Chains A and B, each alone.
Chain A
Amino acid sequence: MEDFQIIELFYKRAESAIQETSVKYGTYLNQVAYNILRNAHDTEEIVNDTYLGAWNAIPPTRPANLKHFLSGITRNLSFDRLDYLLAGKCHAVFVELDECIPDLGNDIERVWEAKEIGVILNHFLGMLDRKTCAVFVARYYYAYSYDELSEEYGLFKRQIKYLLTKTRKELKKYLEREGVTI
Chain B
Amino acid sequence: MKSKKLNEAFQYVDDNFLDIAELERCRRRRKQKSVWHYGSIVAACICLMLIVPIGVVAADWFGLRSLLLPGISSEVSQDEESGNVDSEGQGSVSGLDTQVGEEAFVAAPSTDMIGLAGYIDSPEAQALNEWQTFLAGYDTDGAIIEQIGNNPTNLDSRYDLYYVYTQEMADKLDEIVTKYNLKLHTEMNVVSQEELDYRVGGDFLQEEMNRAWAYIYEDGTFQFDGNITLDSCGYVDYQFRRTVKGTFDEVVLNIGHAVNYQEFQYVTACGEPVMLALGPNKALIFCDFEECFIALNILGGSENGLTEEDLKKMADAVDFVVLKDVIVPDMRGDSVP
B148-190 CB contact bits vs A (8 Å, 1 = yes)? 0000000000000000000000000000000000000000000
The contact size tier of chain A is: 35 or more
Task: Indicate whether A146 reaches chain B with its CB closer than 8 angstroms.
Answer: no
Contact between B5 and A182, CB atoms less than 8 A apart: yes
A73 → chain B, closest Cβ, in Å? 10
Task: Indicate whether A5 reaches chain B with its CB closer than 8 angstroms.
Answer: no
The contact size tier of chain B is: 20 to 34
Given known contacts A101-B2, A137-B18, A141-B21, is B13 in contact with A156 (CB within 8 Å)? no
Q: Which listed residue (A71, A97, A133, A159) contacts B20, Cβ 8 A?
A: A133
Given known contacts A182-B2, A182-B5, is B202 in contact with A118 (CB within 8 Å)? no
Task: Indicate whether B93 reaches chain A with its CB closer than 8 angstroms.
Answer: no
Contact between A117 and B11, CB atoms less than 8 A apart: no
B252-291 CB contact bits vs A (8 Å, 1 = yes)? 0000000000000000001000000000000000000000
A140–B9 Cα distance when bound, in Å, is 10
Contact between B321 and A141, CB atoms less than 8 A apart: no
B20 → chain A, closest Cβ, in Å? 5
B1-37 CB contact bits vs A (8 Å, 1 = yes)? 1111111111111110111110111001101000000
Task: Indicate whether A130 reaches chain B with its CB closer than 8 angstroms.
Answer: yes
Query: Which residues of chain B from 294 to 323 have any CB-CB distance to chain A below 8 Å in the complex?
Result: 319, 321-322
A94–B10 Cα distance when bound, in Å, is 12
Q: Which residues in B have their C-beta under 8 angstroms from that of A114?
A: 5, 8-9, 11-12
Task: Indicate whether B218 reaches chain A with its CB closer than 8 angstroms.
Answer: no
A152-182 CB contact bits vs B (8 Å, 1 = yes)? 1110101101110010000000000000001
B167 → chain A, closest Cβ, in Å? 43
Q: Which residues in A have their C-beta under 8 angstroms from that of B24?
A: 130-131, 134-135, 153
Chain A residues touching B, majority SS: helix
Contact between A159 and B11, CB atoms less than 8 A apart: no
Task: Indicate whether B130 reaches chain A with its CB closer than 8 angstroms.
Answer: no
A158 → chain B, closest Cβ, in Å? 6
Task: Indicate whether B198 reaches chain A with its CB closer than 8 angstroms.
Answer: yes
Contact between A125 and B3, CB atoms less than 8 A apart: no
Interface residues of A (CB under 8 A from B): 64-65, 68, 71-72, 75-76, 79, 90, 93-95, 97-98, 100-101, 114-115, 117-119, 121-122, 125-126, 130-131, 133-135, 137-138, 140-142, 152-154, 156, 158-159, 161-163, 166, 182
